[in-house]
Amino acid sequence: MRRSYLDDLIVSLHPRNDVIRSNWEKALRQRNALLKQVSGRLDETASTTLDVWDSKAADAGEELVALRVDVLERIRPHVQQAYEEIAGRGETVHLRYRSTWERPLLSALKQVRRDDLRRSVTTRSPSRRGGHRVGGAAGPYPLFTGGATMPCSGSATGLPPPCYR
């Protein structure tokens, strides 16, 4: 499932969550801009500034991931029902959020700092390929990947349709 779909759904369910998403995006942009600016050479001032952006990014990123996990739990029964209708069998569907780092995010950012400085980009974050997978008895399969989309239609579930852009 695409992160952007989850994030849009999170904001659609509670518009105040857009602040969390915006805080994450801002912290990531600022952190990446600093990584590019220092070109791998970190002096004391840049190190202190990077510590600040790491902290802001970690706080917002952890909040965003918690919201993603929550929304996956909320949509699980609806995905289960849709899977059963499409597949014609009652296998259990599992939705699980898998991130590219071990929590807490701040520790992960500090662990990869040297690599991030070398690459001039953040390599561990909720925006990197995390993993939202759904699986039945036959094992995990991607629910949505690449440019795949869900059909746009109304919903009797109380959740907004996935095509509100």
C-beta of residue 144 within 8 angstroms of C-beta of residue 134: no
How far apart CA 118 and CA 165 sit, in angstroms, is 37
Domain extents in the chain: 3-142
- Going by DSSP bridges, is the β-strand pair 139-142/132-136 parallel, antiparallel, or unpaired? antiparallel
pLDDT tens column, 97-154? 877 777 789 999 999 999 999 999 998 888 754 433 433 444 444 443 322 233 333 3
Would residue 48 be called left, alpha or beta, if left means φ above 0 and alpha means ψ between -120 and 50 degrees?
alpha
Q: Summarize pLDDT for 30-61 with one digit per residue, the tens.
A: 999 999 999 988 899 999 999 999 999 999 99
Angstrom distance (rounded) from CA 151 to CA 149: 7
Q: Helix H segments across the chain? A: 3-13, 17-38, 44-87, 105-111, 113-119
Asked whether residue 18 carries a pLDDT value surpassing 70, the answer given is yes
> Which CATH number is correct for 3-142, 3.50.50.100, 1.20.1050.90, 3.40.47.10, 3.90.1150.10?
1.20.1050.90
Q: DSSP per residue over 122-159, as a string?
A: --SSTTS---EEEEETTEEEESS-TT--PPP---TTSS
